Structures are given as C-alpha cells and as structure tokens.
Amino acid sequence: MTHPIPMLMAEAEDKYRDRLGKQSKTLVDAVNEYKRRYARDPPRGFDNWWKFAAEHNATMVDEYDGMMVALAPFWELPGDELRRRAVQVGNLPSVDIVRVKDGKAALMTIEKRFQGTDGTSRAKGFLRLLAKFQSKLPDMDFPINAKPEGRVLVPWEHRQFPNMTEQKSSVGIDVMLGGEFTADWRGTGNTWEAFRRTCQPGSQARRPFSSIRSNIHGTHPVNYFDSTDFHSEPGDDFHFPKTLDNKFDFCRNPWAHFNHGHFFSDWRAIQGLYPLFSSGKAPGYLDIPIPSHYYHSHSAQYTYAWDGVKKVVKEVDDMEIPWQQKNNTIFWRGATTGGGSTPTGFAPTYHRYRFVRLASDHSDIRKAIVFSDPPNSAKYQQANVPIAKLNDEIMDVAFVKLTGYANYPGGRAAVMTENRFAESVPFGHHWKYKYLLDIDGKGYSARFLAFLASDSAVIKSTVYSEYFSDWIQPWLHYIPLSQGYREIYNIFSFFSGPTESMLQAVNSSALYDDSTVRKSEDGDRLLRRIAQAGKQWKKTVGRTIDMEVYVYRLCLEWGRLMADNRDDVNFTMPGPSKSP
C-alpha cells in the first residue's frame, strides 16, 4: 500500500510554494490582485501599507481573504451606524475600546454599568501593534474582546431578513439585543442555544432533538464520559485530515458541540451585528480576528527562548536540545481550562479532558494501527493494538493545574481520579520531545507560535481561525489533528515506526532480530522536516512585524468602513502626469 502521509506532505509543500510564488512584487501588482480578489479598489493609504510591508520583508502580501470575509457583514451598515455600534459594544463587560484620534492611538477609559473581570491586556497588546503607523491612520474605534473565546453570534433570520430586528442602533444596544444586556446568561439561555440560531432553518442544529445526538447519522447515544465519544466511520483511525477543523460545520453536526467548551461559556453572546475584534474565532462566529497579545507580549509561559533577565528573545532557547537527543514521545502539559459552566456538568467532554483521558486510557480498548513490517520497509501491516500499551509507549500527557472543578460531575475528587495529573515543568522542558501537542483552552491556544519556533514538530487540533490562518500550511509547518484525535496513534506509527506492542500484535520477526532498526528512518526525517519548516515559518512569516503588517492592513479596511462615503477613501494608482 501507499501511505497517505507522504502524499499529504508533498501536496502541502507544492501548494505553499505556489502561494509564495504568486505573491505580488510591486504596488501595481498588489493593487491589481486586490481588485481581482475583492472586486473593488483598495482603501486609501494602501501605498503606505505596501511600503511598510516591503520595507520589513513581509512574505504574505496578498493573503487576506480571511480578514475580508470577517469584515464583509459590516459593509451592510452605513458608516455612521457602524461608528455608533463600535462605541456601544465598547460599553459591554469585557470589551475595551482602542481609539485612533488625530494620528494617536489610546486605550479609552469607559465608565460601564457593569465591569468584566478581565484585564486590558488584549487591548494593550493591540495598541502596541499600532505604534509604528498610527500617525498615518484615520480616526476610528476598535472594540477589543477581553475574552479568549468569540462572542458575536447573529441569528440567521436577522442576517437574511434585516427587517425582523431593529436596525438603527440609535435606540440603544439593549433594544438592539432584545432587552437589557447582562454579563452572563443567568439561566436565561446558553451559548449553544445562541449558536443554533445562527444556523439555517432546516439544519440539524435547528432541530432540538438532533442537536443533542452524538453522531451525524444519529446511531449513537451521547456518552459524555467516553474519551472516544467522537463517533465516526470505521477506519477513521487511519484517516488523516488535510487541514484543521476551523471550518467545521456545527450546524450540520450539532452532536460535536458537546466536545468544545466555548459552547458552554458563562458569558452571554452578543446576538446582534456588532463589531468585535478577537484573537480567534470558531466557525459561525462573526468576530474579527487580530493577533493574540500572547504572541508578541513576551513571557516565560508563551515565548520560545525568552531571556527573563535581559528581557530579550534569543535565537535558541537555553533548554533546546539536538533532534536526535529528543524523546520520541507525544508530550502535553496544561491546565484544565477548556470551557465554561453554562449549563454545568459537561466538562468531561471538553477537548483537553478528552485527550488527557485518551492518552492515559488503560482499558481493554484496541486501536487499529498501520505500520511498516519489517520496520523501514514499504510493506505495511494493520493490527488491533491495546491502547494501554500504546499509551505507555508513546504518550506523556497530563494536567498540571486544576481550575473550575465545580463544573465537573463529582467535583475535585472525580477530576483527580479520572484524569492524569503531573508536576508542572518549565516551558523549556517541552523542547525535550519530538512531538508537541497543541490543544486549545477555552479559546485559541496561545502556545502555538512558541511551539513552532522550537526544533520540535507540532501536532495541532483546533476549530479556531486566527489572523495567520491564510498564511500557514498544514502538513508542511505542522501536523493537523482532527477534533476526535482518532488518527494520533497512526501519525506516530508512520513517523516513528512500530512500537513493541505493534510488532507483538502481528508476532513480527523484528521482535527476534536484534539487528533490526525499528525506528522509521524515513519517517523521522520527514518529521524533522516538518519541525524545521515550522521553525522557518515562525522566523519569516510569524514575526511580530508580520502581525503589525496584518494590523496595518486591517486598520485601512476598518477606517474605510467607518467613513460616511466609502468611495471617497479608496486608493487608486496615480496616472501619468500630463503637460499643461
């Protein structure tokens, strides 16, 4: 058989190389490409943005489709209406306003009816990204989400039939959102119910009974405490997704919502078309992505090679080790943060809990594993291997911090009994392992870029889109993992070769031949190639200056949207001068 992973890697490399080769080389190219993609002129200041991007060697100068999709709904609102809504949403809890006025950006101090419990770190992070070009920006307001999860969920009917809801925000945000807005749900609803209303009538999620079924085919009851509850077709243990699940259709697959903690957020969703700039968003949310402050506000917990004494980022972390000395193990440490508690009792189904239980499962479950036998050959065997042995051989996954245990059935004692806990480790301890697992918390994972900067390979599972989603390539810069995690063992068996338990399952002759090299030499080379490609991407595309280039472009688009006459703030290439 031909293993699919090398083909996925080759296809990813070709796709990314093609994308790089098509990036505009001149301002004229960039303007023409903008018009081709978006059927309109770029915003005023596009020439200054291009100069800024070129001076800082920005790699991705045309890839802003995700940004434009996020901004598209706001073209439906006139400038004065959008300006008013930006101010109004800034009065809600856990929303801050960054205001650009007369070429200077500042964080506004707003007296609110009720205050959120979050700090202003996300808004201050966004403010820092404006510093180099704020003098060139028009006046505008940016409402910044202080929460890690998305918050804007607009009912489908309100998008398709605007007359069904109040459209003039001059009546006040409470009227716009159907009543006095409170900080949390207070038993009057929940995030999943709000999300369901964003789906098209007739979809599975709009059918109450279907929305609590655990399988797209409706053949399995929900089992909230089963680590393998992500039911799928037979053979999915050997199915490798081409990309992440950040475009996953929860409207068609409502059973999947039990597996993601943001659907249980305690914070009330904003159920109206209000602008909110967030660090990440799940499918169906209308938040506008901006870079996370964790990516450029350096710290010991979220930055690779951070020198806490000199307050600088070094080229190589002090705890980094050569590839061949790294432990051939899938490693993860983290807190139990992963979702809210409205309604309570569903924490065991959240993504972090599911993976920790999967990786420490010592039941009699067997996993269908494909591996080369003899090792390093092109001949593949499939065997059902005890998950207990696999986990002992390849997994080192554990919680290190317990939070929110009141949301877990049985409380603290049940959490500690049913999930593996270990001692905390320094951030640099991660670099001892070839495989670094990246799983979201309540929102996006803030460690992803730091993991990419290391010399280890990243396996990432997420349903979130971020500012860089158009710029990075799965199977080249990292290994995408489905939200059900079923293929994780076959990812390992391809890159690292068969383990003892795999060979035992087929009574392989390699067990009795001491001269046999069981480690997959080709697989290890390909795994290291992913690690190196991810590191190179971080150095060239995932820099702080690239985040600034992104935000500069976003500011120009947002400034035009806030204008009264948007056509007056377009950018057009100057024509040749004419003699008098």
Q: What is the pLDDT of residue 513?
A: 81
Domain end call among 18, 38, 69: 69
Q: Are 139 and 63 contained in the same domain?
A: no
Q: How many CA atoms lie within 13 A of 318 on its CB side?
A: 9
pLDDT at residue 136, as a whole number: 97
State what percent of residues in the chain have pLDDT above 70: 92
CA distances from 406 to 36, 305, 402 (A): 53, 36, 10
In a domain, 240, yes or no: yes
Sheet arrangement for strand 479-480: 395-401, 327-335, 433-439, 457-461, 479-480
**Selected residue with higher pLDDT from 376 and 128:** 128
> Is pLDDT above 50 for 438?
yes
In a domain, 557, yes or no: no
Residues 306 and 274 in one domain: no
**Beta strands 366-372 and 380-386: pairing type?**
antiparallel
Q: If you average pLDDT over residues 238-254, what whole number do you get?
A: 93
Query: What's the CA dihedral at 62, 65, 71, 73 to 10 degrees?
Result: 140
Q: Is residue 560 part of a domain?
A: no
Q: What is the largest CA-CA distance in the chain?
A: 92
Residues 29 and 159 both lie in one domain: no
Please tell me the total count of domains within the chain.
Answer: 3
> Tens of pLDDT along 304-340?
999 999 999 999 999 999 999 999 999 999 999 889 9
Task: Work out the average pLDDT over 265-293.
Answer: 96
Among 1-5, 147-151, 211-215, 519-523, the range scoring the smallest mean pLDDT is 211-215
Look at residue 189 in the predicted model and tell me its pLDDT: 93
Grade residue 86 by pLDDT with cuts at 50, 70 and 90.
Answer: very high
CA–chain centroid gap for 442, Å, is 11
Q: Are residues 91 and 64 in the same domain?
A: no
User: 370 and 267 share a domain?
Assistant: no
For residue 304, the model assigns a pLDDT of: 97
Give the domain CATH number at 507. 3.40.50
* Among the ranges given (226-230, 265-269, 329-333, 375-379), the one the predictor scored with the smallest mean pLDDT: 226-230
Give dist(CA 256, CA 213) in Å, integer.
9
Q: What is the CA radius of gyration of the chain?
A: 25
pLDDT tens figures, 400-417: 999 888 889 999 999 999
Angle at 339 between CA 335 and CA 345, to 5 degrees: 105
Burial class (CB in 10 A: 0-12, 13-18, 19+), 207: middle
Instruction: Lowest mean pLDDT of 223-232, 258-267, 539-548, name the range.
Output: 223-232
3-state class (DSSP) for residue 270: strand
> Looking at the structure, do residues 236 and 108 belong to the same domain, yes or no?
yes
pLDDT, position 406: 85
- 214 and 135 within one domain: yes
Q: State the average pLDDT over residues 4-23.
A: 97
Residues 268 and 304 in one domain: no
Q: Which of 102-111, 114-123, 543-552 has the highest mean pLDDT?
A: 543-552
Residue 265 lies in a domain: yes
pLDDT computed for residue 80 by the predictor:
96
CB 240 within 8 A of CB 4: yes
Q: Greater confidence, 228 or 119?
A: 119
From 115-124, 477-486, 495-504, the region with the lowest mean pLDDT: 115-124
User: Does position 43 have pLDDT exceeding 80, yes or no?
Assistant: yes
Assigned domain for 147 exists: yes
Segments forming the whole domain that contains residue 307: 299-543
Q: How many CB atoms lie within 10 A of CB 340?
A: 24
Instruction: Output the pLDDT for position 208.
Output: 74
Does residue 411 form part of some domain?
Answer: yes
Residue 265 has pLDDT above 60, yes or no: yes
Residue 225, pLDDT > 80, answer no
The mean pLDDT value of the chain amounts to 91
Is the pLDDT assigned to residue 218 strictly greater than 60? no
- Both 307 and 208 in one domain: the answer is no
Q: Which of 152-166, 173-187, 283-297, 434-448 has the lowest mean pLDDT?
A: 152-166
> Span 122-131, mean pLDDT?
97
Residue with tokens 């207070």: 186
Out of 144-158, 342-356, 419-433, 508-522, least confident range: 508-522
pTM for this structure? 0.94
Residue 219 has pLDDT above 70, yes or no: no
Average pLDDT score over residue span 468-476:
98
At 515 the pLDDT is 65
- How many CB atoms lie under 10 A from the CB of residue 362? 11
Class of residue 157 by CB neighbours under 10 A (exposed 0-12, middle 13-18, buried 19+): middle
Instruction: List the structure tokens of 577.
Output: 């001068």
Q: Residue 457 forms beta bridges with which residues?
A: 435
Q: What does the block give as tokens for 384?
A: 């059902």
Question: Does one domain contain both 59 and 104?
Answer: no
Q: For position 214, what pLDDT does the model report?
A: 44
Residues 173 and 58 in one domain: no
Please report whether residue 579 resides in a domain.
Answer: no
Residue 537 lies in a domain: yes
Domain boundary among 293, 322, 357: 293
Domain ends where: 293, 310, 343?
Answer: 293
Cα dihedral: 73, 75, 77, 78 (round 10): 170
Same domain, 39 and 178: no
pLDDT at 369 over 60: yes
Mean pLDDT of 16-27: 98
